[in-house]
């Protein structure tokens, strides 16, 4: 029982540490600007804890409630191309979104 309890504790700590997310907004005009949102997640056997990094980054931007948000760039690291399936076994991923929000005159 002891190895199972320590594994459960390690998974819990990894999921709590993995729920880091950050969103920065920069106002360019009175009604528009840019944003950058980043999030981290831990993947263990194709299960993302607490959720997928890209999904968490998108949710942070959406929860801000700003009008007319447009994602202009996404980045997920690490990215191994065809070998991404290896990252589904055990990995830590970081997603970054950049874009614009609001209405320009």
Q: How many domains does the chain have?
A: 1
Could you give the CA distance from residue 102 to residue 81 in angstroms, rounded to a whole number?
Answer: 34
Could you give the CA distance from residue 60 to residue 2 in angstroms, rounded to a whole number?
Answer: 38
Give residue-wise pLDDT tens across range 5-62: 676 666 666 655 545 788 999 999 988 999 999 999 888 888 887 888 899 999 999 9
CB-count burial class (<10 Å; 0-12, 13-18, 19+) for 65: exposed
pLDDT at 84: 85
Higher pLDDT, 3 or 99: 99
Contacts of 53 (CB under 8 A, 6+ apart): 39, 40, 41, 76, 93, 94, 95
Q: Is the pTM of this model over 0.85?
A: no
Neighbours of 105 (CB within 10 A): 6
Mean pLDDT, to the nearest integer, of 61-75?
Answer: 92
Give residue-wise pLDDT tens across range 49-58: 788 889 999 9
Q: Give the residue numbers spanning the domain of 60.
A: 2-102
């Amino acid at each position: 029982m002891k190895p199972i309890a320590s594994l459960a504790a390690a998974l819990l700590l990894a999921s709590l540490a993995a729920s880091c997310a950050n969103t920065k907004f920069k106002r360019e005009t009175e009604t528009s600007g840019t944003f950058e949102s980043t999030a981290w997640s831990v993947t263990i056997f194709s299960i993302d804890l607490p959720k997928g990094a890209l999904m968490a980054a998108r949710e942070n931007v959406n929860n801000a409630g700003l009008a007319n948000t447009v994602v202009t760039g996404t980045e997920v690291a690490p990215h191994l191309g065809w070998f991404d399936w290896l990252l589904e076994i055990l990995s830590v991923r970081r997603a970054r979104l950049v874009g614009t929000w609001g209405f320009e005159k």
